[in-house]
Structure 1
Amino acid sequence: MTDYFDLSRRRFLRTTAVAGAAVFAVPLLGRRAVPGAIASEAAAADSEARLFVALQPDGTVEITCHRSEMGQHARTAVAQIVADELEADWDRITIAQALGDKRYGDQNTDGSRSIRFNLERLRLVGATVRRMLRDAAAERWGVEPGSCRAEQHRVYHDASGRSLDYGELVEAVAGREPPTDVTPKDRKDWRYIGKGKAIVDMQDIVSGRATFAADVRLPGTLVAMIARPPVVLADVASVDDSAAREVPGVVDVIRMPSLTENPVDFNPLGGVAVLAEHTWAAQLGRDKLDISWTDSPNASYDSASFRGRLETACRESGDVHRSKGDVEAALAEAGDERRHSAEYYVPHLAQAPMEPPSATARFEDGVMEVWAATQNPQADQSLIAGLLDLPPEKVKVHVTLLGGAFGRKSKPDFSAEAAWLAYKSGRPVRVQWQREDDIRHGFFHTVSAQRLEAALDDGGRLTALRHRSTFPTINATFEAGAEVPGFETDLGLSDAPLAIPHIQAETGRAPAQVRTGWMRSVANIYHVFALQSFLAEMAHKAGRDHRDFLLEAIGPDRVIDFEAEGSKFDNYGADFDEYPFDTGRLKHVLRRATDMAGWGRELPARSGLGLAVHRSFLTYVATVVEVAVAEDGSLRIPGTWVAVDAGTVVNRDSVRNQMEGASVFSLSYALHSAITVKDGAVEQGNFDDYPVARMPEAPASISVEVVDSDAPPAGVGEPGTPPFAPALCNAIFAATGKRIRELPIGEQLRA
């Protein structure tokens, strides 16, 4: 193979999307400072106005987004917030992506916190620059600043009829000290915040002009593909790379740093990298490596037998995270006729973003520069600095667009791989993961087993609940041998919003034997699947309507005092005074979703409605799913209805989009997805054996209602995920009488 034509996915789109035109796209390789602008690079560390906003000489406002864009529309939302308070003309703004830099504060785009952490902060940024422009115009005119106003890219002095465009004030504000007594707009005056707005990157994405990590091309870049150990903590015992080096285009073969001890943290797994002039040669070369691997302490891990260990642990007393009343006595007093128990199981899952991990690195003049599809550029910076013994300020991390992430790309092992290889080879290197690499060598969503027991009173009301959950904790990624869960207990276990006299939440202990990490909505996935499925079972045992039973179990409208109810729930790190757990809001979304779906309406045979409701990431979401199950077990979803109360929202369209996407994401793991492990190695490798939902399987319609609220902003990217799977399984029971207590559903409907 001597000829190579690099027709990338992006290049293909660019050459096919624009008929009759030759379009050339410049990769996003950094930010250009404009003379005369309020430039972010030259900003003082204590000036957030200058850090986030650059006013160009022609009046264009460049707004810097310090969070990663991975389909959740963070760049659009940040622009809406700043532009609204700045009173900028929407058609005269541009968006720049921030480097990893501690001056921006927290840049980790996970936990559904981008708006929650930054709405007020960014409003103040925009209002500060608006004030600076107003004051500069007043000074030029020799009038009182209070007699001037800024509106839609101009400053007006109504008394004299004079006005100035923002572009005419650039020089006047460039050296002006930002004021400290700024007041943002009243909510009633918002122009962009709270409205739907077109996604700022959409045209670039659909036309192929957008830059994702795999699109970055630096002069002289080598492509690297890495043969990683099949079992975590295994190492290279021996390697014969002679055949790989004979592949045309292969330039070098380099051993990666070994990872043979816990904790694994975010470190690269190790292995052997093949560096080549192009992707195909790197792939062929890697396939020709002859590697023997050392033994690993995880080589005995078998997920099928491990399930039994988890289930056994759930039948025994565990560490208590919430205790109110006397659950044991209440269960014993209820007797078999008013007591019920069930066990649930959710396997390992992979985030499987559509774009596998990729990063490009260049080491030049003592500076390591990286372009990566990362959710957390400061984590990349820290890991790379430690790996290469460089000062953090000598590591620059550029954030490209992310083609999906779901938590995977907040772990920067792939960026560190690229940096290591660029450092060792002396040339720019792009590390490209393939789908098989992503499925087999990721940070997996943990496996879990749960057991729930509950009791009813003589009137069919829930009086007692014990929820036991056992799973390998994410803490093991950062702490060798950790088996005691941490924050996971707050995600659907210790925060059950039930007004019942007896409740207890417990966890068992289990070791982690694959790399474990967070995935969209994290432990809410398995805890809410079990709890909301089980409450539907209790409603059925009581002979009650599921919605009525659930509303009664949640109890009167109130703010829950979890500490008084024996819970260690930490409220996603938020202050309870600012973000109280309000059961009135929870019940409202439940009523709205069921009303939207026509709860209680007559349905055809083998059709059913199921519901689930949950508060996660401080947002209240209820989902109703309608299913139709054929005699052969095939499943259709005629409709899904979602009601969401996320407090103050910036872009209503994006909230709807996130609820729709979360529903389909949840459908994938509910129907199909399971990572299984044999002899320590993941058995799946691509979408043939780790399927995602296809279009014919998706709901025929997804209706979303965003509740109007002036409460503080809460999360949006993750809260739509947890309720869908239990609502789906509850609908299946309503249609067929078959209980689904383990995921994926797979062939259970045909059994």
Structure 2
Amino acid sequence: MLSHLKEAGVLDAAAGIDATGPLRPLAIAKLDRRMFLAGAGVGLAALAAPAHAFEPWKTGGSDMPNGLVSDPLVFVTIDPDGTVTIVAHRSEMGTGVKTSLPMVLADEMGADWERVRIVQAPGDEPRYGNQNTDGSRSMRHHIQTMREMGASLRLMLAEAAAERWGVGAGAVSVGVHEVREAMGGQTLGFGDLAEAALARPVPAREALSFKDESEFRYIGREVVRIADLRGITDGSAVYGADIRLPGMKYAVIARPPVAGGKVASLNAEAALAAPGVERVETLEGGALPAGFGPLGGVAVIASSTWAALDARDLLEIAWEAGPHGGYDSGAYRAMMEEMAARDAAIVRDRGDWPAAKAAAARVVSATYHQAHMAHASMEPPAAVADVRADRAEIWAPSQSPYDARKDVAKALGMEIDQVTLHVTLLGGGFGRKSKGDFVTEAALLSQRVGAPVLVQWTREDDIRHDYLHTTSVERLEAAVDGEGRVTGWLHRSVAPTILSTFAPNPEAALPIELGMGLVDTPFATPALRCESAVPPAHARIGWWRAVSNVPHAFAIQSFTHELATELGRDHRAVLLELIGPDRVIDPKAEGMPDDLWNYGEPYDGFPIDAGRLKHVLNVAADAIGWGSETPEGEGLGLAVHRSFVSYVAAAVRVKIDGGQVRVPEVHMAVDCGFAANPERIRSQMEGAAVMGMTATLHSAVTYRDGAAEQSNFNDYQMVRATNFPEKVTTHIVDHPFSVKATGVGEPGVPPVPPAICNAIFAATGKRFRSLPIGEYIDV
């Protein structure tokens, strides 16, 4: 999303760590025999003839800043012993992208996965292409370039072997990590051919042939191990806070409690006298809009993180709150609800909503609210910087390393070529680590101190000073005729916009936000109107896993359940009726805006398909046993949503146990096009169920006197091992490779909260319209 904001002009466009060993496939490798026809008389030109028709997918990846790179000599090296080293240029935070993309390349190349080594790329988009790892777009944007590079290398190896043996192209075939000559049975390993193959020109795109999907050994198959899994399990994996450099100092920062505040007075005498403390530095910055710059504050630099933390508590700071010191969540919610009760800017209009409402036999309405949410990644932000007079070297868990590198260069007054940023593993990201404020903090302090510095955020820092998920109020109305049919639909959304992080006093939401489950609502009602209003922001707003889809889906899918209850009808039946007949939706005919946000993808390749949406709804509902009787105190709930060009439905079983909300069973149905790595897809859906339950029960950052009231997991709780989705079953809709792979990391979250709340109503008759609802309810 960061890159797309840059495209819109919102933002100024102004060495890898090897943490994996051999990876083992589940399936036994087999020789790839499809490339060439037998016969020594065929020339090398035969290598150019595609064995299978292959239509490249059209995605938005080439339109991203620094686009796509498909040069195999940039991404792959082959050692004389046959080890194939593949560069992972996207950031790994649990999605498996460090495995999935190299796996695609290796499969197309013919490499033995057990002999593949993966290294992480530094932040260098001119070399590797776009590296902003968010928006659930890594696979859908880069699967093609990975296949092209794999096919190029396979061809280069074959050409090198044919030349070595003095035979025609048709006399050689590429198997698993070797090239074989048909007539004499000679073989050469990839290592034997490495030097000659990699010295050859990279073939033109038109010269490549691609494997048929029936010949895939890893793509779309089950892989036993993912990159870094052993290190993550045994503790040897390298995260941002694990970096150690000679002479390194440790820093923590006291930041203004109110966003945009600043230091009014400081007494650092006691802190400077504390054991291990070396200096105290004041950092400027923080006035909103702050972009991705530091908040400012007072830094304590010491010989250890603990010494710095202890000394930070001794700082005597008087803060000037600034213009946001009056921010109060209760008053702000009331203001949003008042705005939601009035007409707002129309952002989509189909049919005649006022006429449908006037002619309705009855109008059903409801208002929904969601509090701010923090990312609360398992790993709080941390970065190490080593800044010298003529260069800066950074180690950080960054989702957008090239952008962080540019921010550091600007802050230090250096050219970007003087800054190197090494990407460590991310202990969770969810959008938070796309923002490089913590990286810039480390660089600025290292420059002042003249030594390497680790800046460590605490959990309290993380929650109080996050780029929060926006708070929102959603107003929905449905016009119903005398026969119980919905003839009109109104959705009015009120929320501070992410644009407030970059521009002062924005008056309209971004197309990105409107296109996440609002203006793209796929309902077939005769009249449908969407409106938007934007109140002023008083905190840093950023994208959180699935972004605006979360409040939009919560409101829409909760309201459809309310509507079904009001009409005395089955929820699934009402949803299917609202979605309407199977069809590819025509945005223009449906009154959607000309600048409809489609997750950066061309609409003709990634349309809104009502049939696919209905299908995942039916898969999830059937899997949970929709319509069956449930014991007292239990209930079933459904929700479905399209986001990140994927379709996901959640069906949950809720049990109320002594007033505690429990979720013993969840079925996630996901249609993400071709499923390149099923194991990671299941993992993401399972994680989405857990995160969705957390958002439902616990996630709220509230404000009083401008400051966040929550600080740690005692008051900003997560679902825990004692109460979490006990059994999550993922149903992946099967598609051939020709059906484009779509998003996986984010789209699982939006349907989970409304499904849980709908199930609670089924179990108790109690309706919840504000998130979070709390873990215990009165029954």
What TM-score, normalized by structure 2, do the two folds share?
0.89
2:354 maps to what in 1?
Answer: 328
Structure 1 CA distance, aligned partners of 2:394 and 2:131? 16
Task: Answer yes or no: is 1:155 the counterpart of 2:179.
Answer: yes
1:668–1:692 contact (8 Å) kept in structure 2? yes
Q: How does 1:243-392 map to 2 (within 5 A)?
A: 243-260=270-287, 262-335=288-361, 338-364=362-388, 366-392=390-416
Paired amino acid for 1:619: S
Residues 257, 67 of structure 1: alpha-carbon distance in 2 compared, 3 angstrom cutoff: same
> For the structure 1 residues 322 and 702, does the alpha-carbon distance in structure 2 shift closer, same or farther, using more than 3 Å as the test?
same
Q: Distance in 2 between matches of 1:28 and 1:439?
A: 30
User: Contact between 2:107 and 2:150, CA under 8 Å: does it hold in 1?
Assistant: yes
Q: 1:257 Cα deviation (Å)?
A: 2.4
Match of 2:560 in 1: 535
* Residue 522 (structure 1) shift: 0.2
Partner letter of residue 314 of structure 2? Answer: K
Check the 8 A contact 1:59/1:167 in 2, yes or no.
Answer: yes
Instruction: Give the SS at the match of 1:585.
Output: helix
Aligned CA distance change for structure 1 residues 46 and 722 (closer, same or farther; 3 Å): closer
Question: CA shift at 1:28, angstroms?
Answer: 7.2
Q: Paired residue for 2:81, among 58, 63, 72?
A: 58
| 2:763 paired residue number | 735
Q: Match of 1:485, as an amino acid?
A: A
Q: Which amino acid aligns with 1:701?
A: K
- CA shift for structure 1 position 686: 0.1
Give the whole-Å Cα distance in 1 for the aligned partners of 2:19 and 2:662. Answer: 48
What is the distance in 2 between the residues matched to 1:733 and 1:612? Answer: 14
1:580 corresponds to which residue?
Answer: 607
Please, which of 642, 666, 690 is the counterpart of residue 692 of structure 2?
Answer: 666
- 8 Å Cα contact 2:70-2:146 kept in structure 1: no
The equivalent residue for 1:642 is: 668
1:8 corresponds in structure 2 to none
Cα offset, 1:671, TM superposition: 0.4
Q: Do the aligned residues in 2 keep the contact of 1:327 with 1:464 (CA within 8 Å)?
A: yes
Aligned to 2:500: 476
1:555 is aligned to 580
1:194 aligns with 2:217: no
Whether 1:504 and 2:529 are equivalent positions in the alignment is: yes
Shift of 1:539: 1.0
Listed as ranges, the matches of 1:459-470 within 5 Å are 459-470=483-494
Tell whether the 8 Å contact from 2:250 to 2:304 is kept in structure 1 after alignment: yes
**Shift of the alpha carbon at 1:175?**
2.1
Change (3 A) 1:263 1:231: same
CA deviation map 1:173-211 (0-9, x unaligned) = 232211112232222221110012121211111112210
Maintained 8 Å contact 2:19/2:231: no
Instruction: Output the amino acid matched with 1:738.
Output: K
Q: What is the letter of the counterpart of residue 457 of structure 2?
A: W
Indicate conservation of the 8 Å contact 1:196/1:654, yes or no: no
User: Which residue of the partner structure matches residue 515 of structure 1?
Assistant: 540
Matches within 5 A, 1:402-441: 402-441=426-465
CA contact (8 A) 1:232 1:514 kept: yes
Q: What count of residue pairs does the alignment treat as equivalent? A: 709
Q: CA deviation at 1:457?
A: 2.4
Establish whether residue 230 from structure 1 lines up as the match of residue 254 from structure 2: no
Rounded to whole Å, the distance in 2 between the matches of 1:304 and 1:748 is 21
Aligned 8 A contact 2:516 2:597 in 1: no
Alignment partner, residue 63 of structure 2: none
Q: 2:697–2:775: 8 Å Cα contact kept in structure 1?
A: no
Q: Does 1:457 align with 2:485?
A: no
Q: Which residue of 1 aligns with 2:646?
A: 619
Name which of 113, 126, 138 aligns with 1:90: 113
Work out the CA distance in 2 between the residues paired with 1:737 and 1:473.
Answer: 34
Q: Please, which moves more after superposition, 568-577 or 390-399?
A: 568-577
Contact residue 222 and residue 277 of structure 1 kept, 8 A? yes
For residues 665 and 639 of structure 1, do their structure 2 counterparts lie closer, same or farther at Cα, with a shift above 3 Å needed?
same
Shift of residue 67 of structure 1? Answer: 0.4
CA distance in 1, matches of 2:368, 2:154: 55
CA distance in 2, matches of 1:213, 1:233: 27
State the AA in 1 paired with 2:445. Answer: L
Q: Is the 8 A contact 2:292 2:437 kept in 1?
A: yes
Tell me: CA distance 1:748–1:694, structure 2 relative to 1, closer, same or farther (3 Å). closer
C-alpha deviation, 1:328, in angstroms = 1.4
Aligned match of 1:69 in 92, 95, 108? 92
Moved more, 662-671 or 182-191: 182-191
State the superposition RMSD in angstroms.
1.6
Of the structure 1 ranges 413-422 and 459-468, higher mean CA displacement relative to structure 2 is found in 459-468
Tell me the secondary structure at the aligned position of residue 446 of structure 1: coil
Residues 640-664 of structure 1: per-residue CA shift (max 9 Å, x gap):
1111000012110110110010010
1:46, distance to aligned residue in structure 2 (A): 7.5
Q: Residue 573 of structure 1 aligns to a residue in which SS?
A: coil
Structure 1 residue 543, shift from structure 2 partner: 1.2
Cα pair 1:80 1:650 within 8 Å, conserved: no
In the alignment, the residues of structure 2 paired with residue 649 and residue 222 of structure 1 have an alpha-carbon distance, to the nearest angstrom, of: 45
Query: Following TM superposition, by how much is the alpha carbon of 1:400 offset from its aligned partner in structure 2, in angstroms?
Result: 0.3
Corresponding residue number in structure 1 for 2:706:
680
Q: Which moved more, 1:163-172 or 1:292-301?
A: 292-301
Runs of 4+ in 1 over 4 A off after TM superposition: 27-32
Single out whichever of 339-348 and 293-302 deviates more from structure 2.
Answer: 293-302
CA distance in 2, matches of 1:322, 1:381: 39
TM-score by length of 1: 0.93
Structure 1 gaps of 5+ residues are 1-26, 33-44
Equivalent in the alignment of 1:4: none
Asked if the contact 2:84/2:117 (under 8 Å) is kept, the reply is yes
Q: Contact 1:29–1:216 at 8 Å: present in 2 too?
A: no
> Contact 1:475–1:483 at 8 Å: present in 2 too?
no
1:46 to 1:436, Cα distance in 2 relative to 1, 3 A: closer
Taking the aligned partners of 2:279 and 2:597, their CA distance within structure 1 comes to 50
Q: Which amino acid in 1 is paired with 2:763?
A: A
- Once residues 173 and 370 of structure 1 are traced to their aligned partners in structure 2, the CA distance between those partners, rounded to angstroms, is 34
Structure 2 residue matching 1:297: 3-state secondary structure: helix
More displaced stretch, 353-362 vs 316-325: 316-325
1:127-183 per-position Cα deviation (integer Å, ceiling 9, x unaligned): 111111111111100112233111110011112211100111122123221111223
Q: 1:741, 1:367 → 2: CA distance?
A: 53
| Contact 2:71/2:202 (<8 A) preserved | no
Alpha-carbon distance in structure 1 between the residues aligned to 2:388 and 2:73? 28
Matched residue SS, 2:191: helix
Shift of the alpha carbon at 1:232?
1.2
CA distances 1:388-408 after superposition (whole Å, capped 9, x unpaired): 111111111110000011111
| Counterpart position of 1:146 | 170
Do the aligned residues in 2 keep the contact of 1:456 with 1:542 (CA within 8 Å)? no
Select which of 115, 137, 144 maps to 1:120. Answer: 144
Q: How high is the sequence identity, in percent, across the aligned residues?
A: 48
Partner AA of 1:628 in structure 2: K
Q: Distance in 2 between matches of 1:164 and 1:451?
A: 67
The aligned residue for residue 213 of structure 1 is 240
Q: Distance in 1 between matches of 2:170 and 2:245?
A: 51
- Counterpart position of 2:678: 652
Distance in 1 separating the partners of 2:79 and 2:649:
45
Aligned residue in 2 for 1:544: 569
Q: What is the CA–CA distance in structure 1 between the aligned matches of 2:293 and 2:200, rounded to whole Å?
A: 45
Q: Which amino acid aligns with 1:417?
A: E
